[in-house]
Structure 1
Amino acid sequence: MKIRTVETYPLLYRLPAPYGDANGLKTFRSTYLIRIETDDGVSGWGECADALETLHKGFHDRIIPALVGQPATDRRKLVRTVKKHHARAASAVGMALSEIAALRAGMNLCDAWGGRFRDKIPVYASFQSYSAGADWQKRSVAAVEQAAAAGFAAFKVKIGGKSVDEDQRHIAAVQAALPGDTRLALDANQSYDAAEALAWRPLLERMPRPLWLEEPLQIKYAAEYGLLRQRLPVPLAGGENIEAAADFLPLLARHALDYITPDPLHVTGIDEYRETLSLARAFGIRATPHAFDGALTRLYALFAHACLEPFGKMQPDAIEPVEWDAMDNPFTRLLPLRPAGGEVAVPGGTGIGIELDTDLLAFYRWDGSRYE
Structure 2
Amino acid sequence: MDDLPLQFSYKVYRRPFRVPVRTSQGLWEARDGILVRMEDERGRTGYGEIAPIERFGTETVAGALAWCASLGARTTVGRVSAVPVGLPCTAWAMACAGAILEASEGEEVQAPRDDAATAKVKQLPVAALLPGGKAGLALLERFAGEGFRTFKLKIGAGDFANEVQHVARVVDLLPAGARLRLDANGGLDARTAIRWLDALQGWPIEFVEQPLPVDARRETIALAHDHGVPLAIDEAVRNADDVKRWRDEGWPGVFVIKPALAGEPREWSAEVAVDPGQFVFSSALETDIGTRCGIAQAFAAGVERALGYGVAAFFEDDGLGGGWGRPVVERVDSGVDAFERTWKRL
Partners of 1:14 and 1:309 in 2: CA distance:
33
Q: Which residue is 1:292 aligned to?
A: 284
**Residue 160 (structure 1) shift:** 0.6
Identity %: 20
**Paired residue type of 1:108:** E
**Paired residue type of 1:347:** V
Q: Deviations over 1:34-58 (max 9, x none)?
A: 1111122111111111354443333
What TM-score, normalized by structure 1, do the two folds share?
A: 0.79
CA contact (8 A) 1:260 1:280 kept: no
Partners of 2:18 and 2:208 in 1: CA distance:
30
Partners of 2:62 and 2:75 in 1: CA distance:
25
**Residue 330 (structure 1) shift:** 4.1
Partners of 1:292 and 1:85 in 2: CA distance:
18
Structure 2 unaligned regions, length at least 5? 53-59
Partners of 2:46 and 2:30 in 1: CA distance:
27
CA contact (8 A) 1:49 1:88 kept: yes
CA contact (8 A) 2:100 2:110 kept: no
**Paired residue type of 1:164:** F
Q: Which residue is 1:302 aligned to?
A: 295
CA contact (8 A) 2:112 2:300 kept: no
Partners of 2:322 and 2:218 in 1: CA distance:
43
Q: Deviations over 1:253-311 (max 9, x none)?
A: 23324210111111112222423312444xxx60001213213333223222222346x
Note closer, same or farther for the CA distance 1:58–1:331 as it changes in structure 2 (3 Å cut). farther
Partners of 1:142 and 1:345 in 2: CA distance:
27
> What SS does the corresponding residue of 1:27 show, helix, strand or coil?
strand
Q: Which residue is 2:122 aligned to?
A: 119
1:344 maps to 2:329? yes
1:327 maps to 2:307? no
1:57 maps to 2:66? yes
Q: Which residue is 2:27 aligned to?
A: 25
CA contact (8 A) 1:122 1:322 kept: yes
Partners of 1:301 and 1:16 in 2: CA distance:
23
Partners of 1:147 and 1:339 in 2: CA distance:
9
CA contact (8 A) 2:186 2:210 kept: yes
1:191 maps to 2:187? yes
CA contact (8 A) 1:10 1:32 kept: yes
- C-alpha RMSD over aligned residues: 2.9
CA contact (8 A) 1:83 1:268 kept: no
Partners of 1:158 and 1:245 in 2: CA distance:
25
Match of 2:339 among 356, 362, 365: 356
CA contact (8 A) 2:113 2:301 kept: no
What TM-score, normalized by structure 2, do the two folds share?
A: 0.84
Q: State how 1:248-267 maps to structure 2 within 5 Å.
A: 248-267=243-262
**Paired residue type of 2:39:** E
CA contact (8 A) 1:243 1:267 kept: yes
Q: Deviations over 1:28-86 (max 9, x none)?
A: 233321111112211111111135444333311x2x24x94423xx6xx854x213373
Q: Which residue is 1:45 aligned to?
A: 47
Partners of 1:331 and 1:361 in 2: CA distance:
15
**Residue 218 (structure 1) shift:** 1.8
CA contact (8 A) 1:222 1:256 kept: no
Partners of 2:257 and 2:322 in 1: CA distance:
24
Note closer, same or farther for the CA distance 1:298–1:338 as it changes in structure 2 (3 Å cut). closer
1:108 maps to 2:108? yes
**Paired residue type of 1:229:** A
Q: Which residue is 2:98 aligned to?
A: 97
Q: Which residue is 1:157 aligned to?
A: 153
Partners of 2:17 and 2:293 in 1: CA distance:
26
**Residue 353 (structure 1) shift:** 6.1
**Paired residue type of 1:70:** T
Partners of 1:261 and 1:332 in 2: CA distance:
28
How many residues are paired up?
Answer: 332
Q: Which residue is 1:232 aligned to?
A: 227
Partners of 2:168 and 2:261 in 1: CA distance:
32
CA contact (8 A) 2:153 2:182 kept: yes
Structure 1 unaligned regions, length at least 5? 130-136, 311-318, 366-372
CA contact (8 A) 2:155 2:163 kept: yes
CA contact (8 A) 1:123 1:344 kept: yes
**Paired residue type of 2:76:** Q
1:218 maps to 2:213? yes
Q: Deviations over 1:191-220 (max 9, x none)?
A: 11221100012321130x211110001233
Partners of 1:336 and 1:48 in 2: CA distance:
13
Partners of 1:39 and 1:24 in 2: CA distance:
46
**Paired residue type of 1:321:** A
Note closer, same or farther for the CA distance 1:330–1:96 as it changes in structure 2 (3 Å cut). farther
Note closer, same or farther for the CA distance 1:17–1:268 as it changes in structure 2 (3 Å cut). closer
Q: State how 1:65-104 maps to structure 2 within 5 Å.
A: 65=72, 68-71=74-77, 78-79=80-81, 81-84=82-85, 86-103=87-104
Partners of 2:112 and 2:337 in 1: CA distance:
16
**Residue 89 (structure 1) shift:** 1.4
